[in-house]
Structure 1
Amino acid sequence: MTAESIFAGRLSSPFPPTDTGDVLRFSLLGPVRAWAGDEEVDLGSPQQRALLGVLLLRRDEPVSCERAVQALWGEAAPRRAGGTVRTYICRLRRVLGEAVGPGGLEIRSRGGGYLLTAYGATVDVDTDRFRERVALARRARGQGDPDAALGHFQDALALWRGTPFAEAQTAYFLTEREQWLRARSAAVEEMAAVQVLLGHHAEAMAALESALAAEPLCERLWELRIQALAGMGRRADALAAYQEVRRLLCAELGLEPGPGLRELHRGLLAREPERQEPAVAPVPGPSWPAPAQLPDAPEGFVGRAAELAEIAARLDRGSPTVLALTGPAGVGKTALAVQAAHALEARFPDGRLYAALSGPDGAPVGLRTVLAELLRAVGVARARPDGPLPELAGLWRSVTEGKRMLLVLDDVADGADVLPLLPRSPGSAALVTGRRAPAGVPGLHSMVLDGLTLPDALHLLGAAMGHERLRREAVAAAGLADACGYRPLALRGAAARLLAAPGLGVDEVVRWWRAGAGVQPADVREAGLMSVQ
């Protein structure tokens, strides 16, 4: 699998919960996983999971032992590959039998191969659900119900947790992977078109960003991006996007933009910028210039398209919204919050503010200090950090009344009280980052971040260390991503070490990183690209 094919599957999102009971749920749109009710089932080694994936994709159809060997090893099959397949089948029978009981889900021997069949147990596979929801979305769109279509597309894409069979390196899995990624790209494009139709332009932009990164020459995606920018009132940016795609098409293909793009361009040039009416009527209040104090958008930001779309959807409320981004250190909470804040700035015309609630040494910053800084940012020069907390909090509520503002509260320590800082006016929102969600916040929503997907981790490494080198050492790079736990901060640190020592091999950094992180060494080939037993 080339770096390009890895990067083609950059978008991902969590497996949504379903009703529990006598149900065995399987996830193939990402790492192969299974759940019996609420309990995850241990499916064994990556190759054993991959074999189960083959059986699930071909269930009720016999899979010969030869086909299984070809799928797992391709032309590099070891001498006793057939025996290894039989061992995997024996283990999977035991695991599935323990999960749903005897006679529920069986792998039966049939004609020199294996047949996966379900009896009493209900089997739920995310690939089936994805196809069903996309079909429902297309039907709703065809019947003139874009709201229902959007909901079905969002449900379908929420099933994705990464790149299908990302660990596998054979032609069989590469073909399967590319087919599913094409289906996903088509769904993203169609969903963005519905979002533009409904006027959900910011959400469309979040989906289109990663889609264009994977398919930069797709004119339809550029058309949707230009329409979304124009719909947000960003006419100049829409015109700049047209010039960008025109340069790209001329440089890469020697072609001018097609009729759809040209018609959009003519329309932008012909009309005056449209006035964008606010979704929430402003309430009269103190007059001060809208502050724009967000940190710069993070350089080299990678992935998180599903999370960005979820943030945009959750903050699209008339009432004040508070969303906490939680997760371990180095997982990219701050970068995601700042990236989302920049993407949604048009929704908050009265100001975008940022406050760090922990200092460089990790010590909490006092509430009075933070309130005084925020008040000075909105023009209250007399605010002092030694003032009484109730007075500062009351003044903050008064001057922000009726304003549509976005506040990013970064690195909130466990147990910290953030209530006095939160905006209370309709149309306002706050993004809070921390290892845990703050307690005692009414109506708080929370998103738990995990590491990047393998494709996004490799994209980040390639951007930092050079894509050419990444292609040369792809297997070792996948192992390095695994050693770093797919966390952006660790990945950047490992890339910095590689840049500082050009003669150092990626596999050497893998060993160094695992030892330094206190992680037991593992087989990099199995952790990264499963091409060898």
Structure 2
Amino acid sequence: MSGALRFEILGPQRAWFADREIDLGPGKQRAVLAVLLLSTGRPVATGQIVEAVWPDDPPANGPNVVQKYVAGLRRVLEPDRSPRTPGQVISLTDAGYLLRVDPEAVDAVRFERGVQAARRRHESGVTEQALAELTAALDLWHGEPFTGFSGAVFEAARHRLVELRAVALETRAELKLDSGRHRELVGELVELVAEFPVRERLRHQYMLALYRSGRQAEALAAYRDIDSLLREEYGIGPGEALRGLHGRILRADPTLTASVPETGWPASASAARQAENRVPAHPSADSHPAAPAAPPSAPPPAQAVPAQATPPPRASGPSPQASGPLPQAAVPPYADLPSPLYPALAGLPAGPPSPFAVDQPRRERHRCRHG
């Protein structure tokens, strides 16, 4: 039966056998299953299950209670199994209880593998397929994971999965910007900025999509929104990438729309990102000209340009008009994703990542200044 089982934890916890949904029983029994799903294919000690499911008030006879809930799970996951026959889906080993299912049967595992596959396709230059892989992986989400479960184990797993989803959403938006789909992306980014209000990379993409759609004033208003939010809530200002983009939008920097088609895919997505991420050294990003120019709605008519107007390329040295790529604007590398989903269950140190992508060194400096 294990080959036909499917489990969903990216949203309300559910299990399926073929097309039939399984009643997983009471809350604590579902929590025991969730712990096993977080370490699919690896045994989990009874003491770890007790600590995860009852973090504040563990029962005195914890191992017996876990055994009772495991028996209940075996009945619903293997209804045809004889009571005296060893469990095939959940078995007891010397190291603890082991959930024996195909990892692909768990939606969270398929999500992480889909993100990895998208990264490999993007590195190979197959950008359209990378976008399709990311979209398919993100479509597996149906809500916040582990709703109703409390404790450090579930909080850490929840924060980690939410962070992975946020990075995947940012990367998908980056690929759409590279492909010239900025007009259709604006509405999607409105929702994402509302869901993740302090993720600066999403704000950067939102401002850029607005500007490329001919909405310069709205792009500048989006910057004022994030600037006010960060200063009021955290006592800090936007990071270098956002400040730089703000200044370039004020100056109507032509490189913000260079090499980006309205539709279709650019000849070199990496070249388009490199052009976007370069910031002129002068004037400063914080300058405010009295009359900012509006972005061009269409390219100017072609004009004859003397050959001498284009300077020869420099052999070496930095461009006088650029200060290098901005770290937050570039697509961050995908790190290899650990297994199992919650590393602490395998004896590794763990801690929930912050759901806010605010620059930590700047927070530390603010705390030093203000005590």
Identify the match of residue 132 of structure 1 among 113, 124, 132: 113
Alignment of 1:113-512 (within 5 A): 113-118=96-101, 124-271=105-252
Q: Is the 8 A contact 1:23 1:123 kept in 2?
A: no
Task: Look up the SS of the partner of 2:89 in the other structure.
Answer: strand
Q: Which residue of 2 aligns with 1:81?
A: 62
Q: Does 1:109 align with 2:92?
A: yes
TM-score by length of 1: 0.44
How much does 1:64 deviate? 1.6
Q: Is the 8 A contact 1:36 1:99 kept in 2?
A: no
Provide the C-alpha distance between the structure 1 equivalents of 2:209 and 2:86, rounded to a whole number of angstroms. 53
Provide the C-alpha distance between the structure 2 equivalents of 1:117 and 1:143, rounded to a whole number of angstroms. 34
AA matched with 2:13: V
Provide the C-alpha distance between the structure 2 equivalents of 1:237 and 1:46, rounded to a whole number of angstroms. 47
What is the CA deviation profile of residues 147-202 of structure 1, one whole-angstrom value per residue up to 9, with x for unaligned ones? 21211111111111111111101222111111111111111111111122222335
* Higher relative strand content: 1
Q: Which residue of 2 aligns with 1:68?
A: 49
Task: Look up the SS of the partner of 2:153 in the other structure.
Answer: helix
Provide the C-alpha distance between the structure 1 equivalents of 2:171 and 2:81, rounded to a whole number of angstroms. 38
Provide the C-alpha distance between the structure 2 equivalents of 1:176 and 1:122, rounded to a whole number of angstroms. 17
What is the CA deviation profile of residues 441-494 of structure 1, one whole-angstrom value per residue up to 9, with x for unaligned ones? xxxxxxxxxxxxxxxxxxxxxxxxxxxxxxxxxxxxxxxxxxxxxxxxxxxxxx
Provide the C-alpha distance between the structure 1 equivalents of 2:55 and 2:158, rounded to a whole number of angstroms. 15
Provide the C-alpha distance between the structure 2 equivalents of 1:197 and 1:73, rounded to a whole number of angstroms. 47
What is the CA deviation profile of residues 232-280 of structure 1, one whole-angstrom value per residue up to 9, with x for unaligned ones? 2211101111222222333334434333223322322223998xx998x
The CA RMSD measured in Å over matched residues stands at 3.1
Provide the C-alpha distance between the structure 2 equivalents of 1:187 and 1:156, rounded to a whole number of angstroms. 9
Structure 1 pair 209–73 and aligned structure 2 pair: CA distance change class (3 A): farther
Q: Is the 8 A contact 1:189 1:221 kept in 2?
A: yes
Q: Is the 8 A contact 2:41 2:103 kept in 1?
A: no
Q: Does 1:45 align with 2:19?
A: no
Q: Is the 8 A contact 1:63 1:113 kept in 2?
A: yes
How much does 1:206 deviate? 4.1
How much does 1:146 deviate? 2.5
Q: Is the 8 A contact 2:41 2:99 kept in 1?
A: yes
Q: Is the 8 A contact 2:28 2:53 kept in 1?
A: yes
AA matched with 2:74: R
How much does 1:92 deviate? 1.1
What is the CA deviation profile of residues 42-95 of structure 1, one whole-angstrom value per residue up to 9, with x for unaligned ones? 211222122112112212322122111111111212334332211111111122
Q: Is the 8 A contact 2:103 2:109 kept in 1?
A: no
Structure 1 pair 149–182 and aligned structure 2 pair: CA distance change class (3 A): same
Structure 1 pair 99–188 and aligned structure 2 pair: CA distance change class (3 A): farther
AA matched with 1:72: V
Structure 1 pair 122–278 and aligned structure 2 pair: CA distance change class (3 A): closer
Identify the match of residue 39 of structure 2 among 43, 58, 74: 58
Gaps of 5+ in 1: 1-20, 280-533
Structure 1 pair 265–61 and aligned structure 2 pair: CA distance change class (3 A): same
TM-score by length of 2: 0.62
Provide the C-alpha distance between the structure 2 equivalents of 1:246 and 1:91, rounded to a whole number of angstroms. 53
How much does 1:23 deviate? 2.4
What is the CA deviation profile of residues 305-359 of structure 1, one whole-angstrom value per residue up to 9, with x for unaligned ones? xxxxxxxxxxxxxxxxxxxxxxxxxxxxxxxxxxxxxxxxxxxxxxxxxxxxxxx
Q: Which residue of 2 aligns with 1:17?
A: none
Provide the C-alpha distance between the structure 1 equivalents of 2:120 and 2:138, rounded to a whole number of angstroms. 17
Higher relative CO (CA 8 A, sep ≥ 6), structure 1 or 2?
A: 2
What is the CA deviation profile of residues 105-137 of structure 1, one whole-angstrom value per residue up to 9, with x for unaligned ones? 42111227311224xx78611111101110111
Provide the C-alpha distance between the structure 2 equivalents of 1:222 and 1:201, rounded to a whole number of angstroms. 14
Provide the C-alpha distance between the structure 2 equivalents of 1:114 and 1:188, rounded to a whole number of angstroms. 35
Q: Is the 8 A contact 1:55 1:63 kept in 2?
A: yes
Task: Look up the SS of the partner of 1:74 in the other structure.
Answer: coil
Provide the C-alpha distance between the structure 1 equivalents of 2:62 and 2:165, rounded to a whole number of angstroms. 33
Deviates more, 1:214-223 or 1:156-165: 214-223
How much does 1:104 deviate? 9.1
How much does 1:218 deviate? 2.3
Q: Which residue of 1 aligns with 2:359?
A: none
Identify the match of residue 16 of structure 2 among 35, 42, 50: 35
Provide the C-alpha distance between the structure 1 equivalents of 2:37 and 2:61, rounded to a whole number of angstroms. 24
Task: Look up the SS of the partner of 1:75 in the other structure.
Answer: coil
Q: State the identity as a percent.
A: 38
Q: Is the 8 A contact 1:137 1:149 kept in 2?
A: yes
AA matched with 1:226: M
Structure 1 pair 149–72 and aligned structure 2 pair: CA distance change class (3 A): same
